[in-house]
Amino acid sequence: MMMYKLLDEVEQEDFSILHQLDEKISFVATKVVHLGDQLESVNTPRSRDERALRLMQHLNRFIDAEAPSDELFDDKDRVGGVGASHIDFKFEGARARISQKYDAVERRLIERFVSAQKRDDRDAMKEVAAVVAQFKGFSQCVDAFIEQSQMGMFVSRDIFREIVPVCERNEALIHYVFHNPAQVMGRFVLTIFQGRLQEHLHQTLADQSSGARYLDQLCELYSRTQHLTKQLAKFNMGHDSSFLSKLAKKLFQEYINTYISKELTQLRQACSDTLDEYYASQSHQKRVLYGGLGELRREAAVVLGTKTSINIAAVENHGGRTFLSEETAINLLQEAKKALKRCQVLSRPQELAQNALQLFDILTNSLLVEHIDYGIELALQAVPVNEPRAEPQLYFYDVVRQTNGMVHLLEKQYADSLLPLVAGSSCQPEAAQKRRSLLAGLQSKLDVGLDRTLSAACAWVRVLLQTEQKKADFRPDTEEVVLASATQACRKVVRFVNGQAARVQDSCDGKNVDAVLTELGERLHRVVLEHLLQFQYNTTGAMAVICDVNEYRKCVDAWKIAHVTALFETLHSLCNLLLVLPDNLRQVCSQGQLAGLDRAVLMSFIQLRTDFKTSKLGLQLRW
């Protein structure tokens, strides 16, 4: 027990001694830290003084115009530390020499960068680029990189195919070497646009001797440049989303400014050349037509010819040539189509509709006025004026057919090529109004031509009936005649009218066919009616005239126009009055189609019977 108590006292004494020792160690450590702080406060000013001394020594050498030979400037591996050594001094001489040394160091760095690039030492390039970034001439380093990267590139004739691959090959290197790859990539592309691409553009478009070739090349270059900008958009070139579009716009600005004037001139010349070539192939010298004076002469000729049978209007039908060419029209439309396509590509958005309208105006003037209207005017003069002495060659149907074909082509191009360019703009109603006005003028002249053609055709029908129809056809002296067929005059008229109807159906389209055939049928009915009212009919002659009218009715029935068919059915019924027994006339006149006719019309036919007076039909038919 005594032993344990002794050991406990010894242990307590040891703990007390240990505690005292720990306190002394902490005290000493505190003193050491304090001493370190004091030493540091003394050493920092000494280091600054030492660096200031070295800087003053360097400055002293610059002031004394000595060439600094310190290893700081001579060791190429340590030039990275010089970037921050340039301080604004009051001493101009020293400043100039420092600037010279600064430039020399900068040049060395760029040379070292280019050398590393040639060796494909990417790490060295990255190290030097980081140092040069502190210099004012960092852009020179970037330019040197771009120049070296593009050296030997773009040697093929198709520069556009090379640009994107070149950018792709250099993109990874730019991202690895430079701390601002987006700006460097933008500079890389900018150099291509302002350098090789601009040079290619100027060389290609330098020759403007051929307007068509120049415009085609300009359109192709512009289109390929726009496609190129879309391909280059995948590269990061900064935050300006319009950077590439601005480059393209600046590249073509001088050409776009003069584009539309060159396009208008080219289209006018192309259309003029196309028309001149066509008329030269026809050995035709285009001339100024009479216009209103020509119409006055024609009317005078009609009046004089009607009263005196003197023909003072020499009709020139040009051997059946219409001087209208669908091939020429297609060539004009093709020229305009190409111009409108170029216009869509090269016009500024705010100018597109107006430019397109100007081009379409040139097309419509060349095609509708200079070509189609001129051909119609020539054809109008070729339509016979007075009753012909021989079967007339009526070529105006060909004019109508060709005009319809060319107008359809124009309408298609209007819908396909022009409307998409002017839709929604103020030019759209203007374009529609001009088109309607020109087409209405052509339609009016076509109507005049068709009217004259139908008049000439019916005049020939009248001549045929007057020369071929004999009084004996309807009032033969004997009963020995063939009653089963039409007279010779009727057969010739039907053959001629069938030919005219076929040409109408071939030349006109849609409702115009029915309209023209209706007019032809009405005029034919009028001529035949007037002709039949000139004869006297006995029983045999009545049967003959019924056969004739039946042939006329079958002729027009093929047209499937109810109004015309009804006219000849009524005429056929009227001719039946020439054959009906006298006692049955009153009954027949009150039946069928004759029931609604005027009594004077009925009597005009009944009076043609040879037995009208002998049978006292006038007294029997008093209503």
Per-residue pLDDT tens digits for 515-540:
999 999 999 999 999 999 999 998 88
- Answer yes or no: is pLDDT of 25 > 50: yes
In angstroms, rounded to a whole number, what is the distance separating the alpha carbons of residues 620 and 612? Answer: 10
Query: Cα 76 from chain centroid?
Result: 64
End-to-end Cα spacing for the chain:
178
Nearest CA among 434, 243, 438, 260 for reference residue 339: 260
Q: Highest mean pLDDT range out of 36-40, 482-486, 495-499, 618-622?
A: 495-499
Average pLDDT score over the chain? 84
537 DSSP β-pair partners: 609
Q: Are the beta carbons of 285 and 279 closer than 8 angstroms? A: yes
Q: What is the pLDDT of residue 138?
A: 81
Of 118, 150, 112, the residue nearest 130 (C-alpha): 112
Which residues are CB-contacts of 478 (< 8 A; sequence separation ≥ 6)?
none
Q: Tokens 């020759």 sit at which residue? A: 207
pLDDT bucket at 547, cuts 50 / 70 / 90? very high
Report how far residue 569's alpha carbon sits from residue 525's, in angstroms, rounded to the nearest whole number.
11
Could you count the other beta carbons within 10 Å of the beta carbon of residue 472? 12
Structure tokens at 265: 């001139």
Q: pTM for this structure?
A: 0.76
Nearest Cα neighbor of 346 from 469, 256, 444, 436 is 256
Q: How far apart are CA 473 and CA 532, in angstroms?
A: 11
Largest CA distance in the chain: 193
For residue 596, what pLDDT band results from cuts at 50, 70 and 90?
confident
Q: Would you identify the CATH topology of the domain 469-623?
A: Methane Monooxygenase Hydroxylase; Chain G, domain 1 (1.20.58)
What residue spans define the domains of the chain? Answer: 2-54, 283-468, 469-623
User: Are 504 and 520 a contacting pair, CB within 8 Å?
Assistant: yes
**With bands split at pLDDT 50, 70 and 90, how would you rate the model's confidence at 479?**
low
DSSP 200: H
How far is Cα 244 from Cα 229, in angstroms, rounded to an integer? 6
What span, in angstroms and rounded, lies between the C-alpha atoms of 318 and 334? Answer: 29
The residue that leads in pLDDT, 134 or 545, is 545
For the chain, percent of residues with pLDDT exceeding 90: 48
> Do the Cβ atoms of 362 and 336 come closer than 8 Å?
yes
Count of residues making up the chain: 623
pLDDT class of 270 with cuts at 50, 70, 90:
very high
> Where would I find the H helices in 347-487?
352-364, 374-382, 396-413, 419-422, 427-468, 471-474
Joined together, the tokens standing for residue 41 give 């406060």
What is the amino acid identity at position 580?
A: V
With 0-12 / 13-18 / 19 or more C-beta atoms within 10 angstroms meaning exposed / middle / buried, residue 27 is exposed
